[in-house]
Amino acid sequence: MNKAHALVVDDEADILDLLKITLGRMDVQATTAMTVAEAKTALQARRYDLCLTDMNLPDGSGIDLVRFIVERHPDLPVAMITAHGSMESAVAAMKAGAFDFVSKPVDLQLLRRLVGSALKLRTHGGAAEARTESGTRLLGDSPKVEEIRRLVAKLARNQAPVFITGESGTGKELAARLIHAQGPRAEGDFVAVNCGAIPQELVESELFGHKKGSFTGAVADKEGLFQAAEGGTLFLDEVADLPLPAQVKLLRAIQEKSVRPVGAQQELAVDVRIISASHRDLNEEVEKGRFRQDLFYRINVIEMRMPALREHPQDIPALAARIMERIARQHADREAMRLSEEAVEALARHPFPGNVRELENVLERATALCDGSIIGAHDLYLPQTEAQVAVGSHADPEVPLEDYLGEIERHAILKALDDTRWNRTAAAKKLGMTLRALRYRLAKLGIE
Ligand SMILES: Nc1ncnc2c1ncn2[C@@H]1O[C@H](COP(=O)(O)OP(=O)(O)OP(=O)(O)O)[C@@H](O)[C@H]1O
């Protein structure tokens, strides 16, 4: 590959020299410009692999230059050099399309990493469709999924914090994994943490690590998840569940790109991309005082909304087919099963409040319970809505009352199990019966 070439834009000659020398040490050649106009002329003259621009230039703002580059040279990664502590301009630059920022005085280690990430984009440019480490792709051909696919490819090319919203089971974590896998951080780790699952008193130590003896039970130094994600991506799932004190520390970590382990004197620089997600409305959490507005502003630089499955029902048949293929691969010892036409139609009509995860659960359950090799609509045990049950088989005088009641019971039980992710104790509680009674009914209805 040819030697990389950067365009560096700053109105201070000293800074230009420093950046030129640093880039030179990284084997990157640099062309310099001191104004927006000079930068535009330089951009016409040749191709660059990276642009670094200051925020305040004599004839305009660095943001204008970012917009110009995004429009005219969309493949050129551009990073903003911001004044110290000016997170607002960093956020504004990333919203305008900058792939990252570095604040003054420029920390050379951070600059090296930033340049390294930008140059890796050269090798990742135009990569084939993203797959996670385990080979999962984003499935679906509907315009909604196509849009997500485009956004994933775009976000993979920059370092801005992304906040993913969407109902449970819509693929928020999958999208985060794809952004990681398709970008220059793919060689680093993707570390996922469910913020709601960490006991409140351990959140800081989990995220930032701790020193031996910093609290009872800290018997050795422990690395935090930030350090574990060094060079990669940290996925903060259910970020709305972070307690307020941890939110303050997270804010600092994002702002300063460094963390301080519990009980440590020194801060450690960390190079981690943050992707967060929540099924809750964070605006509402901010209004209610449960989530810090300043943190929301920083993690939500780019927002991505995963559509509910009922918004793109046309993808259900293809998704179902791929999930069936995956199940068949997992049970290679068994005869492959397929869905009947009626089953596919029933799936396409179902509203799927639990989204793609519910579709996976329905198909896994049907494969486990169905005796033959063709799964019929009745083998899916799709939980009916109350309205459907009310006007359902009851209207048919040929159906014995006991069977009719059995069907209602089956639907109620399967729905409670689905709602509780098959946690029987929780399902029994939801149904207002004892666990023993639930077990008895499961056996009677042949669900187990
Ligand atoms: N478009 C899609 N193509 C393929 N698989 C998908 C798609 N959307 C979701 N899935 C699958 O659905 C399951 C649920 O997805 P995921 O865990 O990413 O959802 P989530 O929104 O993070 O859920 P939660 O909010 O409950 O954590 C996963 O197995 C994922 O691979």
Q: Do 100 and 245 lie in a common domain?
A: no
pLDDT in tens, 318-345: 999 999 998 888 887 777 788 999 999 9
pLDDT for residue 24: 92
What is the atom index within ligand 1 of the atom nearest the CA of 145?
A: 1
Q: Three-state DSSP class for 231?
A: coil
Q: In the listed set 305, 335, 357, which residue is the last one of a domain according to the structure?
A: 305
Which spans in 196-267 are helix H? 203-208, 225-228, 244-256
Q: What is the distance in A from the centroid of ligand 1 to the CA of 360?
A: 9
Q: Do 213 and 299 lie in a common domain?
A: yes
Q: What is the distance in A from the centroid of ligand 1 to the CA of 441?
A: 31
Q: What is the distance in A from the centroid of ligand 1 to the CA of 169?
A: 5
Which sign does the torsion angle of CA 253, 258, 261, 263 carry?
A: negative
| pLDDT class of 437 with cuts at 50, 70, 90 | confident
Q: Which pair of structure tokens corresponds to residue 195?
A: 């913020």
| Structural domain count, the chain | 4
Cα 368 from Cα 385, distance rounded (Å)? 23
Which residue has the least CA distance to atom 18 on ligand 1? 171
Q: Do 260 and 342 lie in a common domain?
A: no
Between residues 69 and 110, the one the model is more confident about: 69
Query: Does residue 56 sit within a domain?
Result: yes
Q: Do 24 and 89 lie in a common domain?
A: yes
Query: Does residue 390 sit within a domain?
Result: no
Query: Does residue 134 sit within a domain?
Result: no
Q: In the listed set 265, 281, 305, which residue is the last one of a domain according to the structure?
A: 305
Q: In the listed set 97, 124, 151, which residue is the last one of a domain according to the structure?
A: 124
pLDDT in tens, 219-236: 788 889 999 999 999 999
Q: Find the domain containing 418 and state its range.
A: 401-445
Q: Do 193 and 111 lie in a common domain?
A: no
Q: What are phi and psi of 39, to 5 degrees?
A: -60, -45
Q: Identify the residue whose tokens are 């929540």.
A: 278
Query: Does residue 238 sit within a domain?
Result: yes
Check pLDDT > 70 for residue 390: no
Nearest to 19 by CA among 58, 63, 50: 50
Task: Give residues (CB < 6 A) around ligand 1.
Answer: 136, 138-140, 145, 166, 168-174, 237, 279, 356-357, 360
Q: What is the CATH number of the domain that holds 191?
A: 3.40.50.300
Q: Do 298 and 323 lie in a common domain?
A: no
Q: Do 241 and 360 lie in a common domain?
A: no
pLDDT in tens, 53-99: 999 999 999 999 999 998 898 889 999 998 766 778 888 888 888 98
Query: Does residue 133 sit within a domain?
Result: no
N-to-C CA span, the chain: 59
Q: Which of 152, 170, 282 to mutate to test the pocket of ligand 1 (most atoms within 8 A of CB)?
A: 170
Q: Do 165 and 253 lie in a common domain?
A: yes
Query: Does residue 382 sit within a domain?
Result: no
Q: What is the distance in A from the centroid of ligand 1 to the CA of 225?
A: 22
Task: Kindly report whether the global pTM for this prediction surpasses the value 0.90.
Answer: no
Nearest to 208 by CA among 285, 260, 156: 260
What is the atom index within ligand 1 of the atom nearest the CA of 194?
A: 27
Q: Average pLDDT of 135-157?
A: 88
Q: What is the distance in A from the centroid of ligand 1 to the CA of 315?
A: 14
Which residue has the least CA distance to atom 9 on ligand 1? 171
Q: Do 362 and 264 lie in a common domain?
A: no
Q: What is the CATH number of the domain that holds 338?
A: 1.10.8.60
Q: Do 168 and 224 lie in a common domain?
A: yes
Query: Does residue 253 sit within a domain?
Result: yes
What is the atom index within ligand 1 of the atom nearest the CA of 173?
A: 18
Q: Do 33 and 84 lie in a common domain?
A: yes
Q: What is the CATH number of the domain that holds 68?
A: 3.40.50.2300
Cα 112 from Cα 231, distance rounded (Å)? 12
Query: Does residue 266 sit within a domain?
Result: yes
Q: Do 183 and 291 lie in a common domain?
A: yes
